[in-house]
Amino acid sequence: MQHRTRYLDLTAIGRGLEQKVCSTLSGYHAFSGCDSTGTFTGRGKVAGFKLLQEDESFRSTMAGIGQSLKMSAEH
């Protein structure tokens, strides 16, 4: 198996996306998982990303993931 390191220019990618989509990416990644295991089993990340671009309700949900966190000192 061959391993290659790949670098992506995230600044350039971010410039190509609308702000309303960029603000949802961390929530979407947390929900969809890494490339080898995903919540959208059999669908791929492309279908979910298209939904991000088209559906305001989905964007709102993904943008809200991790925005509020309540923790207590108790274990």
Domain contains 12: no
State how far the Cα of 28 lies from the Cα of 25, in Å rounded to an integer: 5
Domain contains 51: yes
Domain contains 3: no
Domain contains 41: yes
Contact 33, 27 (CB under 8 A): no
Q: Please give the residue range of the domain that contains residue 59.
A: 23-64
The pLDDT of residue 39? 53
Domain contains 32: yes
| Among 24, 36, 35, CA closest to 66 | 24
The pLDDT of residue 31? 77
Total residue length of the chain = 75
Domain contains 9: no
Domain contains 31: yes
Domain contains 53: yes
Mean of per-residue pLDDT scores for the chain: 78
Count up the domains in the chain and report the number.
1
pLDDT at 61 over 70: yes
- In this structure, the number of other CB atoms found within 10 A of the CB of residue 63 comes to 19
Interval 36-60: pLDDT, tens: 555 555 666 778 888 888 999 988 8
